[in-house]
Amino acid sequence: GSSNILFVWNDMNEPSVFKGAELTMQKDAVHYNNWEHREVHNLYGFYQQMATAEGLIRRSSGKERPFVLTRSFFAGSQKYGAVWTGDNTAGWSYLKISIPMLLTISMAGISFCGADVGGFIGDPEPELLVRWYQAGAYQPFFRGHSNMESKRREPWLFGEKNTQIIREAIRERYVLLPYLYTLFYRAHTAAEPVMRALWIEFPGKTETFGVENEYMLGNALLVHPVMEQKAKAVSVLLPGSEEIWYDFRKFKRMENPGTLKIPVTLENIPVFQRGGTVIPLKTMAVKSTEWMIDISYELHVALDTEASATGELYLDDGHSFQYLHKKQFLYRKFTFHKNILSSSCTDESGQYYTTCVVERVIVLGFGQQPTFVTACSKDGEEKEVVFTYDMKTSVLKLEDLALSVGADWQICIN
């Protein structure tokens, strides 16, 4: 009888029993059929989340995907929903430790993970809250949360400047959702972590093995949260002498990869796009994801040493099981090679209708001023493309494209 957009959070399901040293059931407590608690403890959270997810699916007669957040989890919990790191504290050390915790959970196969933004216990100072929102915006599960004793901490309670910075961090996440959704599809089908330790992407680079203050979001973005109070600079490792890295916001190519000292202000955290990748984004963020369905896309094409790049976009209705039962999805591949950007189908079985278009393409590291640019659809229709080129940054912007997300097309740069 509940609202169809009411979902469930399983909390305290370790299970919590506050009488006793370990705050859970005694190991030798006897369960039905003579099983001791030590044998079933780790299954408690798993089975509660499973039952909850199955109950939500039954509530919608199998039409809607469930959402279940759980505090206790076990191997296989990734099938049933999201997890978070539990009761953290509003301190810089807890922001710092959240990164290796989330990387560990991700590597165990549970990609939909996050930490309470701002810390669950205590009252974060404005700078800490801002830095935590900036970090959380580039992590799989993202929410602010605190206990009943904490002061109110909505983003608009810390002064207009801090509100604006937090708003921008959230906006960055919302426009990045097409990329994140595609990463979750890869997690679902190929068990690739959404949030990755550097060495997963660079297994041959031993200098990445001990790094736990930065991470890859998919294979394309490197994120370095700022976790020191009043920081004026951070030391960022951009791995691979043969790699090219670009500032994600300014599109500027970073000179000489390796360990770089990057100046920082309170306004944002360092994020870099890896050369050789294509990232799909929405052109703007509005009040909710429901309202963003028909908003157009833009592609950020970051060229590698061979002036090439590839990327993907997975798309479905976002809430039903029609992607599974009726193959209602789109799975597209974008390839930039020899000055041609092409869109092609990755999985021919997928059929999903959308009016969405790719409106804009930004090519990073494009070496020369083009003379003209044309876009060609599969049926042979050709049109000239409006473009601007910045010689200083080697950034080529293609505007007003109106190319269908679900169709094959090419953009030829001459």
Residue range 316-328, pLDDT digits in tens: 999 999 999 999 9
d(CA 372, CA 252): 23
Would the pLDDT of 390 be above 80?
Answer: yes
| Segment 10-65, tens digit of pLDDT | 999 999 999 888 899 999 999 999 999 999 999 999 999 999 999 999 999 999 99
Average pLDDT over the chain reads 96
Mean pLDDT of 347-353: 95
Structure tokens at 254: 């970073």
Q: Is the dihedral of CA 381, 386, 390, 395 positive or negative?
A: negative
Task: Please report the pLDDT score of residue 148 as a whole number.
Answer: 96
What percent of the chain lies above the pLDDT cut of 90?
95
Query: Kind and range of the H or E element at 333?
Result: strand 330-337
Task: Please report the pLDDT score of residue 67 as a whole number.
Answer: 97
Query: Of 366, 357, 238, nearest to 301 (Cα)?
Result: 366
187 pLDDT band (50/70/90 cuts)? Answer: very high
Mean pLDDT of 197-208: 97
Would the pLDDT of 73 be above 90?
Answer: yes
Task: Please report the pLDDT score of residue 111 as a whole number.
Answer: 97
By the 8 A CB rule, do 81 and 10 touch? no
pTM listed for this prediction: 0.96
Query: Kind and range of the H or E element at 289?
Result: none
Q: Which residues are catalytically annotated?
A: 11, 14, 87
| Segment 230-263, tens digit of pLDDT | 999 999 999 988 999 999 999 999 988 899 999 9
Q: Is the dihedral of CA 366, 368, 372, 376 positive or negative?
A: negative
Task: Please report the pLDDT score of residue 264 as a whole number.
Answer: 98
Would the pLDDT of 5 be above 90?
Answer: no
Would the pLDDT of 1 be above 80?
Answer: no
Q: How many helices (H) and strands (E) does the chain have?
A: 7, 25
By the 8 A CB rule, do 196 and 215 touch? yes
What single-letter DSSP state applies at residue 89? Answer: B
Task: Please report the pLDDT score of residue 256 as a whole number.
Answer: 85
- Give, in order, the Cα–Cα distances in Å from 229 to each of 123, 135, 153, 269: 15, 14, 19, 13
By the 8 A CB rule, do 103 and 195 touch? yes
Task: Please report the pLDDT score of residue 4 as a whole number.
Answer: 82
Task: Please report the pLDDT score of residue 79 as a whole number.
Answer: 96
For tokens 């995907």, what's the residue? 65
Q: Which domains, ranges and CATH numbers included, belong to the chain?
A: 8-180 (3.20.20.80), 195-273 (2.60.40.1180), 277-413 (2.60.40.1180)
Burial of 127 (0-12, 13-18, 19+ CB in 10 A): middle
Task: Please report the pLDDT score of residue 349 as a whole number.
Answer: 96
Task: Please report the pLDDT score of residue 381 as a whole number.
Answer: 87
d(CA 50, CA 13): 12
Contacts of 88 (CB under 8 A, 6+ apart): 94, 98, 115, 116, 119, 120, 121
Task: Report the DSSP pairing between strands 330-337 and 309-315.
Answer: antiparallel
| Segment 131-167, tens digit of pLDDT | 999 999 999 999 999 999 999 999 999 999 999 999 9
d(CA 42, CA 74): 6
Task: Please report the pLDDT score of residue 97 as a whole number.
Answer: 98
201 pLDDT band (50/70/90 cuts)? Answer: very high
292 pLDDT band (50/70/90 cuts)? Answer: very high
Would the pLDDT of 378 be above 90?
Answer: no
**Secondary structure (DSSP) of 298-314:** EEEEE--TTS-EEEEEE
Strands (DSSP E) found in 185-291: 195-196, 215-217, 221-223, 233-238, 245-247, 258-263, 271-274, 277-282
Would the pLDDT of 269 be above 80?
Answer: yes
Would the pLDDT of 356 be above 80?
Answer: yes
Would the pLDDT of 371 be above 80?
Answer: yes
